[in-house]
Structure formats: C-alpha cells, structure tokens
Amino acid sequence: MADFLYGFSVALTFQNLFYCLLGVLMGTLVGVLPGLGPVAAMSLLFTTTLHLSPVSGMIMLAGIYYGAQYGGSTTSILLNIPGEASSVVTCLDGYQMARQGKAGPALGISAFGSFIGGTLSVIGLMIMAPPLAHFALKFGFPEYFALMCLGLVIVSFLARGSMIKAMLMAAFGLFLGTTGIDLIVGKPRFTFGIKSLMDGVGLIPVVMGLFGVSEVLLNMEEGLSRQVFRAKISNLLPSRQDWKDSIKPILRGTVLGFFLGILPGGGAIVSAFTSYAVEKRVSKYPEKFGTGVIEGVAGPETANNAGSTGAFVPLLTLGIPSNAVMALLLGLLLTHGVQVGPLLLKNNSDIFWGVIVSMYIGNVILLVLNLPLIGLWIKILKVPYPILFPFILLFCVVGSYSLNNNTEDVLLMLVFGGIGYFFKKFDYEGAPMILALVLSPMMENALRQSLLVSQGDFLIFITRPISATLLFVTLVLLLYPLIPWFRFRRRLASLGGDKV
C-alpha cells in the first residue's frame, strides 16, 4: 500500500500529469485516424517521448497507448473501421448500435467499460507483479532462453492466420535482431557496410514502416470509403437498462482480459475476441449478437483494456515484452539505459509504481476527456483520407529521421514499408516479427551464455526444472496442431484406409 501511495506521489506531480494528459490526447488523436492502431500511434509519437525522463516518457507512451486504443473504438463504432485488430469485434455490435441511433451509449459504455476494466486490472497487476518478480529472481540464462522460446511459440499459436506462417515471421524477426555488432566478440553482422545498421535494425523504423507506411499504401490502393454518421450524438451516458445489461459482461471481460493479457501475444486482441465469444455463449439471446446488443460492445471493450494492463505483468516483472506494444515500451526503457527484469521493481520503483498509477489516472482522464471531446474526434474523422495521408507519411518520415538525425533510418523505414505491403498481400502477419526482433538479442545472449556455462552441453536446458517445464510446454504447443492429423490417420487406418 505504501508503494501504491508512492506511485501516486510520482504520477501526480504536475509534470507527469501533464505528460499523461498529453499522451492520452495525442494517442486518441492518432488512434482516430483510419488504419492507425495503438502500435502505429506509439511508433509515430515515440520520438516525442525521448527527450523526457524515463518515468515521464513511459507515462506519456503508455498514455498514447490507451488513448489510441480508445480512439480505435470510436472509429469502429462510428465508421465500422477498426483502428486495429483488437477493435474488430467492437465493429460487430457497436456499428449496428450507431446505425440505430445509439452511438452515444455505445461510445459511453466502451469508455466506462475500459475504465472499470483498466482500474480493476491495475489492482490485479499490483497484486501479482511483486511475487512474480520475486520468483523470477531464480531465473538464470537457461530459464530465460526457455521462457522466450515458449513466448514466441505462444505468439504463433495465438496468431490469427496460419501458425506456421506466424512462426516463420518470428524466425525472420529473430534474424533481423542479430544484425549489428555482435555482443560477445564485437564483430559486425549483416550490416552491409551501412552505418546505421551497426546498432542493429531499429525497432521504431521497422514498426513505423510495417504499421504506418504500408497501412497508408494499402488504404490508398483500396480507396477508403467512409461514411460518418451525421446523426447527432446525444446522451453519451448509458441508461439504467444499459448498465444492467453491461455490468456482468464488463466484470467477466475484466477477469478474462487480464489473464489472457499476461500471455505472450495475448494482450488486447485475443482478450477482445474471447470476451465476445463468451458473451455470446452465456447470453439468453445469442442470435441477437451482431445486430447491436450492448453486451457485445461492453465485454470486448472492457477485455481489451484489461488485457493491455495484463500485458504489463511480464514486461515489468521479467523484462520480457509480450506483444508489439510492450516491445515499444521496453524499447523506450532500453534507450534510457534502464535495467529491465525482476530487479526493476526494486531498483527503479519510481518507474514501476509511477507508470502503474499513471495508467489508473490515465483511465480517469480518458473518461473525463473523451465524453466531451467526441465531437472533436468526429470532426477529425470527417477530414477526407486523400488530405490526411500525406501528413501521416510525413510523420513517419520525420519521426524516423529524428531518432538519430539521419536519413538512413528513413530509408530503412521505407524499406520495411514496402516489405510490409507485400506481407499483407501474401497474408503474413507483422506482429510476431516485431516481438521476435526485440527478443532476439536477449535470446541469443541467453543461449550463448548457457552454452558457455555448460561447455556446449544442451542438457543444461533439461536438467534444470524450471527451464525443462517451460520447454516441455513449448514442445506440446508445437505438436498440438498435429494431433487432429494423427487422429485422422488413425481413424482412416481403422476404417481400412491405410494407404494414406
């Protein structure tokens, strides 16, 4: 409790409060723009947080994150355009509600739901993080290596498309992470004589290219047609009946979201989808889902917010990001030279508790701010895309330029913009790659240090109980997709069709 109060003392300084507000505002602003979700918003605005202290920077970047998340819900409800994958489900019922003239309550409940889910899961985070960080102190190199293997496999397992393709993207991300000066012998790897690759392929240019530039290219190609509801949005406050319908989905969404959020690759997306499925399952009128029922908005909107908070657990306790959003936050900590890992809680408690409390405050700001500001967001939505896109691109260029003040980073970002365009065309998902890119140096270091300790004996990963367990779970997940195939063959064999 004393720690929590300490967090308040950090987060409530005028300066941090200001950056929290600024982050939430700018995040919402970018999140409202079509096609740009939280990840894009954070990478676009990343440079604006660099000149701050680590605590203020983290607070602002986290603010950008949930601001963008909320901005995404707004576009889903009003336009049927999800800012990113996690708001896809919000479109299903939210947009229908808007068409029936109930855009107000839909926006209102998603704000309240996010607030309740966010608040409760901050409490969950406070309870879970310290013991987990304590446990993680037992982790050595082999455990970290095994944990990261498990993480990458879970990410691929939870990916929306093909698991193999997601794993391939993760492998490619791991490769990208090996570029630059080798950590142990100091030899440059895969740099092709390019100066800015000496420090490795930068996270921000890659994310900006993949989630910013390529998104704009695809939108321009497809030609976004948008229709904003001209209907006036009145009474944002949900009615008593709305509350009665929503309160249980909100509570279920919170619990579900928080625990799914802890999983690698879980975070907002899986939480939102699962919550929608659960609400539909337990509903007395499942057939009405998709026609504009408020439960279909309240549950997922709460869950994705709770999930985002849950995702902080592995980052703040183990120093391992579980999705692209957390990877960016980790990136910020690393640029400031903050030691991440189990000791973060002890050595940098101002960051830990300050950020946690600011998330709570940020949720309040979001609630207070967005209800009256919705009119403004709608105005921005009405700016035609052909006028908007040059500025989004300009943001990407200037943002990547300002990282190291050179144009090489800009060109790198453009290369990934082009690559990202083809990824989409060939149905490859970028998120596992981003995560792997960040994990790669840590994973390689863990592998090489483990092998040095064991003098080349791979048994070190199996003889230690924690790492053995983690690797066993990894193996099970890897083999899981094969199970139906085995059953299929056995059934065919029992039918006498043994020629398969």
Q: How far is the CB of 61 from other proteins (least distance, A)?
A: 14
Least Cβ distance, residue 9 to other proteins (angstroms): 28
Contacts of 29 (CB under 8 A, 6+ apart): 67, 71, 377, 380
Residue closer to other proteins, measured from CB, 167 or 345: 167
- Write down the least CB distance from residue 177 to other proteins, Å: 9
Both tokens of 439, joined, read: 């994990």
Closest to other proteins by CB, 47 or 239: 47
Q: Is the Cα dihedral 349, 350, 356, 357 positive or negative? A: positive
Q: With beta carbons less than 8 A apart as the criterion, state whether 361 and 79 touch.
A: no
Distance between CA atoms of 197 and 202, rounded to whole angstroms? 8
- By beta-carbon proximity to other proteins, the closer residue of 133 and 174 is 174
Distance of closest approach, residue 401 Cβ to other proteins, in angstroms: 7
Residues lying near other proteins in the complex (CB under 8 A) are found at 47-48, 50-51, 162, 164-165, 167-168, 171-172, 174-175, 178, 182, 184-185, 187, 189-190, 213, 216-217, 220-223, 386-387, 389-391, 393-394, 397-398, 401-402, 405, 407, 410-411, 414, 417-418, 421, 425-428, 444, 447-448, 451-452, 455-458
Residue in this structure with the two tokens 């990001």, named with its chain if needed = 321
Which residues, 6 or more positions from 427, have their beta carbon under 8 angstroms from its beta carbon? Answer: 161, 162, 165
Compute the distance between CA of residue 142 and CA of residue 448 in angstroms, rounded to an integer. Answer: 10
Nearest to 77 by CA among 23, 116, 31: 31
The CB-of-370 to other proteins minimum distance in angstroms stands at 23
Q: Report the nearest approach of other proteins to the CB of residue 217 (Å).
A: 5
For the bound state, the minimum distance from the C-beta of residue 451 to other proteins, rounded and expressed in Å, comes to 5
Contact 104, 94 (CB under 8 A): no
Q: Which is nearer to other proteins, 293 or 320 (CB)?
A: 320
Rounded Cα gap, residues 120 and 485, in angstroms: 42
Residues in the chain: 500
Query: Nearest approach, Cβ of 436 to other proteins (angstroms)?
Result: 9
- Which residue, 31 or 417, is less far from other proteins as judged by CB? 417
CB of residue 390 to other proteins, shortest distance in Å = 4
For 207-269, give the DSSP string: HIIIIIIHHHHHHHHH--------S-----SPPHHHHHHHHHHHHHHHHHHHHHHHSTTTHHH
- According to DSSP, the residues that pair with 313 across neighbouring strands are none
Residues 256 and 148: their CA atoms lie apart, in Å, by: 23
Nearer to other proteins (CB atom), residue 252 or residue 464: 464
Q: Which is nearer to other proteins, 194 or 368 (CB)?
A: 194
**Between 161 and 286, CB nearer to other proteins:** 161
Two tokens at 140?
């050595």
Residue labelled with tokens 């869950």: 303
In the complex, what is the shortest distance from the CB of residue 407 to other proteins, in angstroms, rounded to a whole number? 5
Q: What are the C-alpha distances in Å from 15 to residues 57, 89, 363?
A: 11, 36, 17
Q: Among residues 190 and 486, whose Cβ is nearest to other proteins?
A: 190
SS3 346: helix
Q: Find the shortest distance in angstroms from Cβ 385 to other proteins.
A: 8
Which is closer to other proteins, CB of 312 or CB of 423? 423
Question: Does residue 75 contact residue 82 with C-beta atoms inside 8 Å?
Answer: yes
Determine if residue 383 is left, alpha or beta; phi over 0 gives left, psi from -120 to 50 gives alpha, anything else beta.
beta
Place of tokens 């919402």: 28
Helix H or strand E segment including 95: helix 88-99
Closer by beta carbon to other proteins, 143 or else 409? 409
The candidate with the shortest Cα–Cα distance to 61, out of 8, 13, 19, is: 19
